[in-house]
């Protein structure tokens, strides 16, 4: 039986190590070293080196686990336990020196998130959770909001940046929430959006077109903070299924119904 609490605290230290490296490199970062993996998907040596820090450290904590990584610094090998990591979630923000980006670590067992760490580097906010252990921010317990009215909710999303096939549905959804909530925010880091939902800054978050490493760290945070994570249809295909919403239990029914109705995916 794994000691998830111990593993989580060790993972937190590795996330901070990677975050400290990213923070140091940002001071003299040259945007000209940025590469384009595909349309609007950017990467630099900072992402790659930070990922190596994570892979090395996490590999020592749980040698039997496999990895799913954004920058492919290690070959993915399917195993019961999988680390799912994004070394720099919010690379575009980082490149433009917009201070919202994070390190995201998730541990998945047979497809279910059982541990999550999100380290927001600029504010030195460390969010972490493990299965049946609650959710925490810098040592203090966190909970999702208790507000039950969608009209009184502050919501977060991410703009489509490479997959525009359902753009019109997305814009229609935005129109609805603009008229029926207290506002929308787009931070530029899905991991941060999920963490902020877990600690009650946002009532809910939704996005489509994401990859597992974008969301794996935040899933356990919301669930352990008393919230719900699902795909737009209300199912469990949110880690690999390209649509995800996370919210408090109080607004989930109305929030999910709006997304299901507008997207019809």
Share of the chain above pLDDT 70, in %: 95
Residues 158 and 196 in one domain: yes
* Helices and strands of the chain, counted as H and E runs: 7, 14
Tell me the two tokens of residue 80.
């019961």
Of all residues in the chain, the percent with pLDDT exceeding 90 is 79
Q: Same domain, yes or no, for 19 and 123?
A: yes
Residues 107, 79, single domain; the answer is: yes
pLDDT of residue 30: 77
Number of domains comprising the chain: 2
pLDDT, tens digit, for every residue of 100-144?
A: 999 999 999 999 999 999 999 999 999 999 999 999 999 999 999
Are 127 and 160 in the same domain?
no
Where does the pLDDT of residue 90 fall: very low under 50, low under 70, confident under 90, or very high at 90 and above?
very high
Q: Looking at the structure, do residues 133 and 157 belong to the same domain, yes or no?
A: no
Give the pLDDT mean for 163-186.
Answer: 91
| CA dist., res. 150 & res. 182, Å (int) | 8
Q: 124, 141, 158: which is the final residue of a domain?
A: 141
- How many of the other CB atoms lie within 10 Å of CB of 18? 25
- Among residues 123, 141, 159, the one where a domain terminates is 141
d(CA 83, CA 110): 11
Read off the pLDDT of residues 210-230 as tens digits, 9 standing for 90 and up: 999 999 999 999 999 999 999
**Binning pLDDT at 50, 70 and 90, where does residue 76 land?**
confident
Domain with 185, as residue range(s), is: 150-263
Average pLDDT taken over every residue of the chain: 92
The whole-angstrom separation of Cα 69 and Cα 76 is 8
How far is CA 90 from each of CA 7, 10, 34, 112, 187, rounded to the nearest angstrom?
25, 23, 14, 24, 9
């Amino acid at each position: 039986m794994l000691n998830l609490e111990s593993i989580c605290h060790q993972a937190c230290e590795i996330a901070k190590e990677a975050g400290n490296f990213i923070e140091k490199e940002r001071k003299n970062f040259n945007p000209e070293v940025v590469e384009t993996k595909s349309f609007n998907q950017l990467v630099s040596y900072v992402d790659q080196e930070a990922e190596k820090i994570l892979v090395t450290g996490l590999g020592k904590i749980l040698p039997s686990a496999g990895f799913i990584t954004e920058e492919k610094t290690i070959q993915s090998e399917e195993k019961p336990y999988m680390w799912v990591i994004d070394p720099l979630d919010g690379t575009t923000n980082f490149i433009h020196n917009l201070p919202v980006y994070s390190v995201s670590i998730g541990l998945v067992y047979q497809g279910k998130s059982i541990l999550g760490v999100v380290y927001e580097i600029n504010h030195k906010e460390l969010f972490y959770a493990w299965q049946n252990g609650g959710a925490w921010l810098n040592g203090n317990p966190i909970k999702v909001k208790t507000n039950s009215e969608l009209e009184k909710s502050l919501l977060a999303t991410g703009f489509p940046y490479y997959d525009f096939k359902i753009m019109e549905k997305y814009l229609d959804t935005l129109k609805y929430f603009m008229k029926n909530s207290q506002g929308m925010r787009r931070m530029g880091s899905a991991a941060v959006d999920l963490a902020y939902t877990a600690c009650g800054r946002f009532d809910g978050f939704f996005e489509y077109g994401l990859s597992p490493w974008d969301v794996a760290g935040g899933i356990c945070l919301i669930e352990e903070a008393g919230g719900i994570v699902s795909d737009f249809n209300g199912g469990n295909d949110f880690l690999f299924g390209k649509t995800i919403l996370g919210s408090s239990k109080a607004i989930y029914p109305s929030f999910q119904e709006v997304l299901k109705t507008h997207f019809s995916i």
